[in-house]
Amino acid sequence: MPATEGDLVHLLHAIAGEADEVVAIVEEVGGYIGKAQPGSRAFTFGRNFGFILGVLQSLGVRVELVRPQKWQKALGLGTASGCASKTAWKNKLKASARRLYPNLKPTLGTADALLILDYARRTAPAASPRQEVLVNK
């Protein structure tokens, strides 16, 4: 994610302006983020999610929400409950992302996004050469 909201707007505007039709696959998240969190953290999480959706809508980008269970199942990743801990699960996701995108050196912070990208590439209708260029940037 870009450092500021303004940077995010500029990035999304640049991406949306490069293609005829842009579809954003956004993870459909709930208010609960794993363990008890202060209300301010949950508020910030929800605010950021809403901001991203709002920017995408204002740019005319079609948004498709996908639940974590759906993209994880489609990639054959199993479930978090199948791992000994949340850390083990996140490391499994990172390892999967590294196998798919070794040149990008995925981290714990980027693995989910790259796996959602792979889910979108696998489930989307055949992409035009121009769409492939945007995905591979």
Say if residue 75 is in the same domain as residue 27: no
Residue 2 lies in a domain: yes
83, 89 in Cβ contact below 8 A? yes
What percent of the chain stands above pLDDT 70?
85
pLDDT at 34: 60
Whether residues 17 and 33 share a domain: the answer is yes
In terms of phi and psi (left: phi > 0; alpha: psi -120 to 50; beta: otherwise), the region of 107 is beta
Structural domains counted in the chain: 2
The rounded distance, in Å, linking the Cα atoms of 23 and 113 is 15
Range of the structural domain that residue 2 is part of: 1-66
* 46-96 pLDDT, tens digit each: 899 999 999 999 999 999 999 999 999 999 999 988 999 989 999 999 999
Q: Among 47, 66, 85, identify where a domain stops.
A: 66
Q: Does residue 79 sit in the same domain as residue 24?
A: no
Average pLDDT for 115-135: 70
The pLDDT of residue 33 is 56
Distance, CA of 137 to CA of 133 (rounded, Å): 6
For the entire predicted model, the pTM comes to 0.80
Cβ neighbours around 115 below 10 Å, total: 24
Asked whether residue 1 falls in the same domain as residue 46, the answer is yes
